[in-house]
Amino acid sequence: MTDNGALEYTTDEMMTVAASRELEDGAVCFVGIGLPSEATNLARATHAPNCLLIYESGTIGAKPEVLPLSIGDGVLAEHADSVVSVSEIFNYWLQAGRVDVGFLGAAQMDRYGNINTTVIGTYESPKVRLPGAGGAPEIAASAREVVIVLRQKPRSFVEDLAFVTSVGHRHGGDSRGELGYGGAGPSMVITDLGILRPDPVTKELTMTALHPGTTVEEAKEATGWELEVAAKVETTDPPTERELEILRDLKARTEASRKKA
Amino acid sequence: MAELVELREAVTGLMSDGDSVALEGFTHLIPTAAAHEIIRQEIRDLTLIRMTPDLIYDQMIGMGCARKLIFSWGGNPGVGSLHRFRDAVENGWPRPLELEEHSHAGMANRYVAGASNLPFAVLRGYVGTDLPKVTSTIVPIKCPFTGEELVAVPALNPDVAMIHAQQADRRGNVAIWGISGIQKEAALSAKRVIVTVEEVVEKFEPRPFQIVLPAVAVDAIAVEPGGSRPSYADGYYDRDNAFYEAWDGISRDRKRFGEWMERHVLGTRDFAEYTKFIESEETLR
């Protein structure tokens, strides 16, 4: 607690808590590893005990007791409702339209929520070779909506993507619709500074909420393009004591289990 | 029909320079022992296939075994980059590595087509991404019934598939439980199949989410206890997270990597000796 009685928390904790709140109870959620996994498991431990978490390794209804370090950790299978092959996950679940929301991370993102996880520089002679697509292109295509969780920095929020690995709102406007995808694309981007949502018409990501203590100027400085800011910017509710307690407990137990292993 | 053999014998008999080979495993049951045997036998010019190339692919690429990589996600899971993979792509060291890059959905469907003896698979995906611009094996196709635009990707039929499983029985059937990734499809798509197992048992016990690969789908089975370390084998051992973290340092530098591989892999007779050596070292490695 600070002197005035407010809770102390980090910007990363605020980001994870804000992202977790966006997962509705009962939703079928395709989860990426890292920040998305942290947020969705926090949601499962707080307001969304009945969400169905799907990981691309083949686990459906995963209920990990600690956060998985990798996408195929044993904790994902341990209490899962079902474990199926990777081809079933992508064909029967994702492509078939059974996924309500995909939670994704990224290396780089542009103003329309398109994602690069392939290369920095040119493809032929890359400056940095990134891991590649993984499951992201089809999650971005077929999940009914997509929530992106990503720290807001000029290096990750870029004007031009070196490579489009996964499609968000493409070139803005109706351009995504021309691709015939089943899903509607990114509905929001949750960062350590606030929340961006696509403009209803242009589909450009617009800063619609800031976390407590963050200024519009900070958000603009952290963005590699000329950031659109909503006429009325909301302030995110800070993490509650319960959210923080559960998140910290989850992370402490995860850390302890890693040391043990 | 599956034969119980030594891993060395299986690799010598079933693999050649220039083969395409898939060593599958989705962070569970990674066939490390099999990869090390490829490195020990200095097999070259391989087309390596894998959805999620990780440490063992980093090792084979860094040791110059690979000419080409067909993949969808290459990283050190939970840690970061694969430095030998990156060095090969970014700097052509120790030799240039041709890439054929897909998404997980594309790779999974390519194995399914291969296992089904079909020439290609059809899926909804890739459209609007830059992947079709750099990967010639992603081609638009029109549905002959509805006219819908879809994407075709060619079947994968590796010369050899290698997987690690928990158990085989005396008849050569193979049991895998827990997360089984794309191993069944990879095995059924391949011309020759080598399976390493933790142990051979008289009879399989029922386990949750168990799959059994029948003996007729397997050519060689080799017993390699701990053969998927540092990954995990559900029911046998946990993931050695410290090794994944240590690999980041070992693999970052060409010289350190080379010395490590020389000492631990080329300098040991087999995986059992390697495992003993690793366990005898106090500081990681």
Q: How close A231 gets to chain B, by Cα (Å)? A: 32
pLDDT of the residue at B105: 98
Per residue in B76-115, pLDDT (tens digit) is 998 999 999 999 999 999 999 999 999 999 999 999 999 9
Name the token pair of B248.
């980041």
Q: How close B101 gets to chain A, by Cα (Å)? A: 8
Indicate the residue type of A199: D
pLDDT of the residue at B78: 87
Residues of B in contact with A182 (CB under 8 A): 124
Q: What DSSP state is assigned to residue A92?
A: I
Whether residues A85 and B181 touch (CB distance < 8 A) is answered with yes
Question: Tell me, what's the ipTM?
Answer: 0.95
Are residues B209 and A81 in contact, defined by beta-carbon separation less than 8 angstroms?
A: no
Q: What is the 3-state secondary structure (H, E, C) of chain B?
A: CCEECCHHHHHHHHCCCCCEEEECCCCECCCHHHHHHHHHCCCCCEEEEECCCCHHHHHHHHCCCEEEEEECCCCECCCECCHHHHHHHHHCCCCCCEEEECCHHHHHHHHHHHHCCCCEEEECCCCCCCHHHHCCCCEEEECCCCCCEEEEEECCCCCEEEEEEEEEECCCCEEECCCCCCHHHHHHHCCEEEEEEEEEECCCCCCCCCEEECHHHCCEEEECCCCCCCCEECCCECCCHHHHHHHHHHHHCHHHHHHHHHHHHHCCCCHHHHHHHHHHCCCCC
What length does chain A have? 261
User: Does residue A72 surpass a pLDDT of 90?
Assistant: no
Which of B75, B103, B209 has the CB atom closest to A131's CB atom?
B75
pLDDT of the residue at A47: 97
CA dihedral B222→B224→B228→B234, nearest 10 degrees, is 100
pLDDT of the residue at A71: 83
**How far apart, in whole angstroms, are the C-alpha atoms of residue B150 and residue B134?**
18
Chain A residue whose CA is closest to B85:
A129
**How far apart, in whole angstroms, are the C-alpha atoms of residue B75 and residue B80?**
6
Taking the Cβ of residue A5 and every Cβ of chain B, the question of whether any pair is shorter than 8 Å is answered with no
Taking the Cβ of residue A9 and every Cβ of chain B, the question of whether any pair is shorter than 8 Å is answered with no
Are residues B233 and B198 in contact, defined by beta-carbon separation less than 8 angstroms?
A: yes
Per residue in A117-140, pLDDT (tens digit) is 999 999 999 999 999 999 999 999
Q: Which CATH superfamily is domain B3-101+157-280 in?
A: Glutaconate Coenzyme A-transferase (3.40.1080.10)
Which residues 16-75 of A are in CB contact (within 8 Å) with B?
Answer: 33, 56-59, 69-74
Location of structure tokens 């599958």: B24
Residues of B in contact with A79 (CB under 8 A): none
Taking the Cβ of residue B128 and every Cβ of chain A, the question of whether any pair is shorter than 8 Å is answered with yes
User: Does residue A2 surpass a pLDDT of 80?
Assistant: no
Residue B13 confidence class, pLDDT cut points 50, 70, 90:
very high
Name the token pair of B38.
């490829």
Are residues A66 and A73 in contact, defined by beta-carbon separation less than 8 angstroms?
A: no
User: Would you call B50 exposed, middle or buried from its count of C-beta atoms within 10 A (0-12, 13-18, 19+)?
Assistant: buried
Mean pLDDT of B187-196: 98
Helices within chain A (DSSP H only) = 11-21, 35-45, 74-78, 86-88, 136-142, 216-221, 241-260
pLDDT of the residue at B26: 94
Which positions of A are catalytic? Answer: 56
**How far apart, in whole angstroms, are the C-alpha atoms of residue A4 and residue A212?**
15
pLDDT of the residue at A143: 98
User: Does residue A259 surpass a pLDDT of 80?
Assistant: no
pLDDT of the residue at A33: 86
Which residues 103-132 of A are in CB contact (within 8 Å) with B?
Answer: 118, 123, 125-129, 131-132
Considering only A31-35, A244-248, B216-220, which range has the smallest mean pLDDT? Answer: A31-35
Q: What DSSP state is assigned to residue A177?
A: G
Considering only A68-77, B168-177, B207-216, which range has the smallest mean pLDDT? Answer: A68-77
Angle at B274 (CA atoms; ends B272, B277), nearest 5 degrees: 110
Closest CA to A13 of A254, A257, A243: A243
DSSP per position, A147-161: EEE----TTTB-SS-
Helix (H) or strand (E) holding A231: strand A228-235
User: Does residue B282 surpass a pLDDT of 70?
Assistant: no
Are residues B104 and A90 in contact, defined by beta-carbon separation less than 8 angstroms?
A: yes
Between β-strands A205-210 and A194-198, what pairing exists: parallel, antiparallel or unpaired?
A: antiparallel
Which of A69, A72, A170 has the CB atom closest to B128's CB atom?
A170
Residue B1 confidence class, pLDDT cut points 50, 70, 90:
confident
Mean pLDDT of B183-197: 98
pLDDT of the residue at A223: 98
Q: Look up the CATH number of domain A11-256.
A: 3.40.1080.10
**How far apart, in whole angstroms, are the C-alpha atoms of residue B55 and residue B76?**
6
Mean pLDDT of A97-116: 97
For chain A, the domains span 11-256
Q: How close B77 gets to chain A, by Cα (Å)? A: 5
pLDDT of the residue at A70: 85
Mean pLDDT of A161-178: 97
Taking the Cβ of residue A138 and every Cβ of chain B, the question of whether any pair is shorter than 8 Å is answered with yes
Residue B183 confidence class, pLDDT cut points 50, 70, 90:
very high
Whether residues A261 and B185 touch (CB distance < 8 A) is answered with no
Are residues B214 and B165 in contact, defined by beta-carbon separation less than 8 angstroms?
A: no
pLDDT of the residue at B221: 98
pLDDT of the residue at A6: 75
Q: Give the pTM.
A: 0.96
Indicate the residue type of A134: G
Per residue in B17-74, pLDDT (tens digit) is 999 999 999 999 999 999 999 999 999 999 999 999 999 999 999 999 999 999 999 9
Residue A260 confidence class, pLDDT cut points 50, 70, 90:
low
Which residues 255-284 of B are in CB contact (within 8 Å) with A?
Answer: none
Count residue pairs from A and B with Cβ separation < 8 A.
175
pLDDT of the residue at A4: 62
Residue A261 confidence class, pLDDT cut points 50, 70, 90:
low
Per residue in A29-68, pLDDT (tens digit) is 999 888 999 999 999 999 999 999 999 999 999 999 999 8
**How far apart, in whole angstroms, are the C-alpha atoms of residue B97 and residue A147?**
35
Which of A87, A134, A182 has the CB atom closest to B72's CB atom?
A134
Taking the Cβ of residue A173 and every Cβ of chain B, the question of whether any pair is shorter than 8 Å is answered with no
Half-sphere exposure of residue A209: CA atoms within 13 angstroms, side-chain side:
19
CB atoms within 10 A of CB A139: 28
User: Does residue A166 surpass a pLDDT of 60?
Assistant: yes
Enumerate the β-bridge partners of residue B98: B68
Chain A residue whose CA is closest to B98:
A124
Mean pLDDT of B266-280: 96
Mean pLDDT of B245-256: 97
**For all residues of chain A together, what is the average pLDDT?**
95
Q: How close A229 gets to chain B, by Cα (Å)? A: 27
Taking the Cβ of residue B147 and every Cβ of chain A, the question of whether any pair is shorter than 8 Å is answered with no
pLDDT of the residue at B284: 60
Which of A54, A87, A139, A169 is most worth mutating to test chain B (most B CB atoms within 10 A of its CB)? A87
User: Does residue A5 surpass a pLDDT of 70?
Assistant: no
**How far apart, in whole angstroms, are the C-alpha atoms of residue B168 and residue B115?**
21
Taking the Cβ of residue B173 and every Cβ of chain A, the question of whether any pair is shorter than 8 Å is answered with no
What length does chain B have? 285
Residues of A in contact with B239 (CB under 8 A): 69-70, 73-74, 261
User: Does residue A17 surpass a pLDDT of 70?
Assistant: yes
Q: Is the dihedral of CA B187, B190, B195, B200 positive or negative?
A: positive
What radius of gyration do chain B's Cα atoms show? 19
For chain B, the domains span 3-101+157-280, 123-154
Chain B residue whose CA is closest to A176:
B128
Annotate A171-202 with b (16+ C-beta within 10 A) or e (fewer).
ebeeebeebebebebbbbbbbbbbbbbbbeee
**How far apart, in whole angstroms, are the C-alpha atoms of residue B152 and residue A22?**
35
pLDDT of the residue at A69: 86
Taking the Cβ of residue A137 and every Cβ of chain B, the question of whether any pair is shorter than 8 Å is answered with yes
CB atoms within 10 A of CB A11: 15
Taking the Cβ of residue B75 and every Cβ of chain A, the question of whether any pair is shorter than 8 Å is answered with yes
Mean pLDDT of B213-231: 98
Are residues B59 and B261 in contact, defined by beta-carbon separation less than 8 angstroms?
A: yes
